[in-house]
Structure 1
Amino acid sequence: MQLMAGRRQSRRVKALRIAGSALLLLLVAGGWWSYRPAVTRYHHWKQRRALTQARDFLAQKNFTSAKLALDVALEAVPGDPDALRVAADLLDSVGLPQVMPLRRRLVQMAPGSVEDRAALVASALRFHDLNAARDALSEMTPEQAEQPAALKAALSFALATNNKPIADLLYDRLQKAEPTNGNLKVMHALLRLQSPQPATVIAARQELEVLAKDPRNSLFIHREMTVEAMARHDAQEAAQQAKRAVADPRSTLEDRLHLANIELNFERRPFGDVWAEVVPHAQGTAADAAAAVRWLIVVGEAARVPAWIEGLPAALRADPAVVAAQANALAAAENWDGLQQMIESGAWGKVDHDAVGLAFTARVAGARQNAELQRKVWDEALAATGNSLTELNVLYRLATLWRWDAPVERTLWAIVKGHPNEGWASQALFSHYREQKDTSGMRQLMDSLRGSDPTMPRYKYDWALLSLLCSPSANWTSPKETMRTLYAGEPNNASYATGYAFALAQSDKADEALAVTGKLSADALALPARAPYLAYIYGVGRQKEAFGKYASRQADLTNLLPEETALFSQGRAAVNRPAPAKTSASDKPTKTEKTPVATSPEPSAKP
């Protein structure tokens, strides 16, 4: 009996254990399934909270804390496009260039989103990166390019590049897409004011007079027509439009400064009288006070700044914008001791005293014509910044203020390498090299940029093209392979096609180069900047008529790089070189002779 009872008890315990295990599994599974949504909700809450904090920090201009908060938001829910858009909009709103990588990432995540592509164009234009804007527009499909958001982005680019004919066409297309958009009518009429056709200008002015009767448009139209009249040196019209703008209750200090400029430059009113009318409107906010100081500097009255600022309320005097403007006035007056003190006190941002002190020591060395000491001390100043963007910006401003080319270049390089998102620095450095026609410097810069952002095709293309110009070779080099890859990915891109054909021509593959250029449209071939490359390609290909066509354009191209100019003579030498004699039967090697092996290596990858 004991045995039977024990057996029954064991069965009962076993059943209870099984039931308990099943219940435990159900509890674990239920907990897990309830845990997952809870974790997701937590991460989204964390993201929203971090975005709110970032917005608050940006409002306080606490950019370091704002960046940390944005990093937390983006890491909380990785790859969330909505969070990326909010973060990008926040960075855009305060003018921080870190927005560009976010905009590019959004385009990569949603290539079909026209709004994201248009936002990338807008951000690029805001930071004066015309090449990035051009790239973003060129990557749109034909269907995307016809949508209103894309047309507006293209219009902004056309206006930024002063391409009036294209802007005119885009306005027409946009008005058809949005016939009730009154702003488009105003902007189009303002554009037509710049037409070379007198009848078009008269019609545009009449249309603007009608549109200005609408209070929603009046102030904007009067402002724009003031600027347009000043550009035409029509003092009477400019004064009339400026007075209309100032009479508007919505007018700002900027409107009054426009009128003041007209009164000083055209009507020759005494400065004291004009300034007395400006002063009451320049003391309301720190932004207005700073704008007034900048205006005084521009009109050559910087000497009035210290006394006027001294009379401002204490809160305005202490505002960072007013303090920075006061420092600018000292710079305009070349009061270097006073400027150094204000910079060290934080007028241009929080800085290290050592870096600033070394910069001003370099100025003394330069004034004493000691170039070697100047360079050494300036490099020490760069090192003392510890790669701080604020301090590097201060050094750049000082070097620019003192008109020092070499220190400006080295400071820009420090910014480009340490802060690759600062697109203005690479643009400024590229413009510096372009002005100096320093092809090697341009190539070095593009090599650095393609290293910092390997996904940017433009950096690859520019580096490859500049490399082909700087280091021509018959060998199939890495830059040539880059050209081949770019062309293979976008065979309809005329720039890539020309670059690839140029690479082939350099490698004695004239027939293949001509086959590539033969696919280009007449419009693509007509671009003036392509003339040196086409002249070289057709010269190497012994196409005398085509070579002559593009070589004839050399006289009109005055801003070429030295290596580009040389392409004309290289193409001329190639096209005039006697053709190789045909090999006769008697010249063929006998069985005992060895056929010479070509010394030029074949390309590493067939183009």
Structure 2
Amino acid sequence: MSTETSLHDTRRGLWIALAIVGFLGLMAAGLWWGRPAYRHFKEQRYLRMADEFLRAGDVRRGLLSLRQAQAANPRNVQTATRLAELLTESRSPLALGWWRRVVELEPTAENRMRLIAAALQLENPPYPVANQTLQEMIRLGETNSAQYHVLASQWALQTRRIPEAVAHLEAAVRLDPTNLLHQLNLATLQVQAADPALSEPAYNKLVQISETSNDPNLQVLALRSLVTVNLARGRPVEALRFSARLLNSPAAGFNDKVQHLTVLVSAGDPATNTWLHQLQQEAGTNAARITVLASWLNDRQRAREALAWLETLPPSLRTNPPVTLAVADALVALQDWDGLEAWLSPQNWEAQEPVRLTLLTRAARERGQRSLAEGYWRRVLDWPGGRGEALAAVAQILEKWGWHSEVEEVLWALVKRAPWHDWAWEILVKNRYAAGDAAGLFQVYSAMYEAKPNALEVKNNLAALGLLLQRDLDRCRRLAREVYLADTNNPVWVSTFAFSLHQQGDTATALKLLERLPEEARRRPEVAVYMAIILGSQGRRDEARTYAALVENQPLLPEEKRLLQTALGETNQQG
């Protein structure tokens, strides 16, 4: 074979090889670039399936399709929002976890407010998630909207802070003076005032809106308020009159019909059971409506009726997630622990599995089966699925039961697995602080520091607690210095660093740092306590007592109280 032929064959071989490599490269590129398109196709397919299932009233398969769409694209905020909305409508304990996910994906003021609204609907007092999100909006400067003030007023009202609620609604009216909704909300709040000079004009305002407004939604809201007010005032006949008008409105919903049941019961109306039966028929196969009506019965000690009705539903509907929980709630209300165990044992609640295991824990515990209860409980705490939403739901249920030590266990499991749940950290802190447990607080902040090593507030609080307890002093002194250098004008950071210097014998520098602060900052309780301690240690007790008076009614830790008493020469008194 000639050299020329050999060279030609070699070149041809190279071209073939390059062509194959190029073809494979194009295939690989097609596969790579095609992945997002394929994921988008799957996501859209699952969303269409979810729409079809939900239109047919099949909540279980609708939820499953939404979760599959979310798995195809975990960062799609619209899918997460639809999941959150559906779970909220079904009053699922998982709903708040999905609203937090929406905020995580798209941290806007609007989404934070949607989380607050859901929390106010689904949480138990004192509404920790709602409160924590409101505080976050304050820190972010997102409070200059009427909607924020409306939500803040709802939280204040539901936690019995009436003057604060009124102030927020007045702010909403100022920000949006032409919006009759805010005026209606303000009147709804004012009508509850003890002073007739305030409550009666507000009542008349509600009546006026209900009779003259051209907006059917405003009319409905006014009528709802009038129904509620008259029930609270013990005027069931008036409540019944307004409720009847409300039901005639095309804007009335199923919940208004359920409230009408409450009015009929209050009025002693013989039509109550007829209306209840009508609503049971109207609920049909709608899982959300079934759950609302069953909850109404359970809440009024009519759990046996709820259970009897739920047992008439098709098995496929009874095993739908929200209805399944309604059955369990009725069995708990009846204290039918054998029935609860028999109902729950063969099931699998998928994403809500920790909730099922928690209910089984109670059933076993109530029946005296301690080892079985402990086994279920371990599975709750060790459950590996999800992003913590199910454990958050478990915490809500346990709080309702009054199982406080188990709530603590669940919160610890939650923050270790999903440390972004700030509300859970806040409850752990609040509980330790209420107990005056500085060592427990130190434990919480040590864990929080591992999860959030760059959070200045966490660093500061860990440092302050370590200094108080004389624990891990080298690290705590270092953290106090780091936080101070990060912001030398922050009064709290300054006071922690000053306390660190004072403990190391450099009280002169500590006092200079504190006295450099504006007087208003020095009078803040969290700073004033250290002003008093350090001034008293230098014999300046009159000045120290001035600052001590500022914290007299503040919740101090025992260690802070002892230091304060020593500084003031009051060591003979109890801490």
TM-score in terms of structure 1 length:
0.67
- Taking a change above 3 Å as real, the CA distance of residues 408 and 508 of structure 1, as seen in their structure-2 partners, is same
The superposition leaves residues 218-264 of structure 1 with CA deviations (integer Å, 9 ceiling, x where unpaired) of: 11122234334545556566555444434434334433443443554
Q: 2:42 & 2:520 partners in 1: Cα distance?
A: 51
2:347 equivalent in structure 1: 346
* Residue 181 (structure 1) shift: 3.4
1:209 equivalent in structure 2: 207
2:416 equivalent in structure 1: 417
1:186/1:208 contact within 8 Å kept:
yes
2:491/2:521 contact within 8 Å kept:
yes
2:147 equivalent in structure 1: 152
Query: Are 1:547 and 2:544 an aligned pair?
Result: yes
Q: What amino acid is aligned across from residue 544 of structure 2 in structure 1?
A: F
1:587 equivalent in structure 2: none
- Taking a change above 3 Å as real, the CA distance of residues 441 and 317 of structure 1, as seen in their structure-2 partners, is same
Q: 2:111 & 2:32 partners in 1: Cα distance?
A: 29
1:254 equivalent in structure 2: 255
Q: What amino acid is aligned across from residue 140 of structure 1 in structure 2?
A: L
- Taking a change above 3 Å as real, the CA distance of residues 411 and 132 of structure 1, as seen in their structure-2 partners, is closer
- Taking a change above 3 Å as real, the CA distance of residues 240 and 534 of structure 1, as seen in their structure-2 partners, is farther
Q: What amino acid is aligned across from residue 563 of structure 2 in structure 1?
A: Q
2:115/2:130 contact within 8 Å kept:
no
What aligned pairs does 1:117-156 form with structure 2 within 5 A after superposition? 117-120=109-112, 122-123=114-115, 126-127=118-119, 128-130=128-130, 132-134=132-134, 136-140=136-140, 146=144, 148=145, 152-153=147-148, 156=151
Query: Are 1:570 and 2:563 an aligned pair?
Result: yes
* Residue 573 (structure 1) shift: 1.6
- Taking a change above 3 Å as real, the CA distance of residues 282 and 186 of structure 1, as seen in their structure-2 partners, is same
* Residue 565 (structure 1) shift: 4.4
The superposition leaves residues 527-581 of structure 1 with CA deviations (integer Å, 9 ceiling, x where unpaired) of: 6677655544554465534533453466644xx36xx244234223214399xxx
2:354/2:391 contact within 8 Å kept:
no
What aligned pairs does 1:183-582 form with structure 2 within 5 A after superposition? 183-193=181-191, 199-212=197-210, 213-214=212-213, 215-231=216-232, 238-265=239-266, 267=267, 269=268, 273-285=271-283, 286-311=287-312, 317=318, 319-346=320-347, 350=353, 360-365=363-368, 374=370, 378-385=373-380, 386-388=382-384, 404-420=403-419, 426=425, 429-430=428-429, 432-433=431-432, 436-454=435-453, 459-469=458-468, 471-472=469-470, 477-490=474-487, 495-496=492-493, 499-514=496-511, 517-518=514-515, 532=529, 535-536=532-533, 538-540=535-537, 542-552=539-549, 556-557=553-554, 560=555, 564-576=557-569
Q: 1:145 & 1:309 partners in 2: Cα distance?
A: 44
**SS of equivalent residue, structure 2 residue 327:** helix
- Taking a change above 3 Å as real, the CA distance of residues 187 and 535 of structure 1, as seen in their structure-2 partners, is farther
- Taking a change above 3 Å as real, the CA distance of residues 300 and 73 of structure 1, as seen in their structure-2 partners, is closer
Query: Where does the alignment leave 5 or more consecutive residues of structure 2 unmatched?
Result: 88-94, 120-127
- Taking a change above 3 Å as real, the CA distance of residues 126 and 288 of structure 1, as seen in their structure-2 partners, is closer
Q: What amino acid is aligned across from residue 298 of structure 2 in structure 1?
A: I
2:60/2:321 contact within 8 Å kept:
no
Q: What amino acid is aligned across from residue 561 of structure 2 in structure 1?
A: F
Q: 1:196 & 1:510 partners in 2: Cα distance?
A: 54
Q: 1:393 & 1:173 partners in 2: Cα distance?
A: 33
The superposition leaves residues 186-221 of structure 1 with CA deviations (integer Å, 9 ceiling, x where unpaired) of: 334334445676544444334333333322301112
Query: Where does the alignment leave 5 or more consecutive residues of structure 1 unmatched?
Result: 1-8, 75-82, 108-115, 367-373, 579-607
What aligned pairs does 1:1-20 form with structure 2 within 5 A after superposition? none
**SS of equivalent residue, structure 2 residue 339:** helix
1:498/1:530 contact within 8 Å kept:
yes
1:483/1:503 contact within 8 Å kept:
yes
Q: 1:167 & 1:524 partners in 2: Cα distance?
A: 28
How many residues are treated as equivalent by the alignment? 526
1:97/1:422 contact within 8 Å kept:
no
1:586 equivalent in structure 2: none
Q: What amino acid is aligned across from residue 541 of structure 2 in structure 1?
A: K
Q: What amino acid is aligned across from residue 156 of structure 1 in structure 2?
A: L
What aligned pairs does 1:61-72 form with structure 2 within 5 A after superposition? 69-70=69-70, 72=72
The higher relative CO (CA closer than 8 Å, separation ≥ 6) is in: 2
- Taking a change above 3 Å as real, the CA distance of residues 314 and 175 of structure 1, as seen in their structure-2 partners, is same
1:159/1:167 contact within 8 Å kept:
yes
Q: What amino acid is aligned across from residue 548 of structure 1 in structure 2?
A: R
* Residue 331 (structure 1) shift: 0.9
Aligned-residue identity in percent: 19
* Residue 426 (structure 1) shift: 4.9
1:361/1:377 contact within 8 Å kept:
yes
- Taking a change above 3 Å as real, the CA distance of residues 64 and 418 of structure 1, as seen in their structure-2 partners, is farther
Q: 2:513 & 2:164 partners in 1: Cα distance?
A: 28
- Taking a change above 3 Å as real, the CA distance of residues 343 and 426 of structure 1, as seen in their structure-2 partners, is farther
Query: Are 1:52 and 2:49 an aligned pair?
Result: no
Q: What amino acid is aligned across from residue 283 of structure 1 in structure 2?
A: Q
**SS of equivalent residue, structure 2 residue 97:** coil
The superposition leaves residues 144-174 of structure 1 with CA deviations (integer Å, 9 ceiling, x where unpaired) of: 654x4xx633653454245666665555555
- Aligned-pair Cα RMSD in Å: 5.1
TM-score in terms of structure 2 length:
0.70
- Taking a change above 3 Å as real, the CA distance of residues 397 and 200 of structure 1, as seen in their structure-2 partners, is closer
Q: 1:173 & 1:310 partners in 2: Cα distance?
A: 49
**SS of equivalent residue, structure 1 residue 576:** coil
**SS of equivalent residue, structure 2 residue 450:** helix
The superposition leaves residues 125-151 of structure 1 with CA deviations (integer Å, 9 ceiling, x where unpaired) of: 74542564255324436xx654x4xx6
The superposition leaves residues 425-453 of structure 1 with CA deviations (integer Å, 9 ceiling, x where unpaired) of: 55655555455444433443343344344
Q: What amino acid is aligned across from residue 205 of structure 1 in structure 2?
A: Y
* Residue 457 (structure 1) shift: 5.0
1:118/1:153 contact within 8 Å kept:
no
1:110 equivalent in structure 2: none
The superposition leaves residues 44-80 of structure 1 with CA deviations (integer Å, 9 ceiling, x where unpaired) of: 5345435435645697657787566545536xxxxxx
Bigger radius of gyration among the two = 1
2:90 equivalent in structure 1: none
The superposition leaves residues 253-294 of structure 1 with CA deviations (integer Å, 9 ceiling, x where unpaired) of: 4334434435545x4x27x75333322123322333322222
**SS of equivalent residue, structure 2 residue 301:** coil
- Taking a change above 3 Å as real, the CA distance of residues 536 and 451 of structure 1, as seen in their structure-2 partners, is same
Q: 2:316 & 2:25 partners in 1: Cα distance?
A: 57
- Taking a change above 3 Å as real, the CA distance of residues 252 and 118 of structure 1, as seen in their structure-2 partners, is closer
- Taking a change above 3 Å as real, the CA distance of residues 203 and 415 of structure 1, as seen in their structure-2 partners, is same
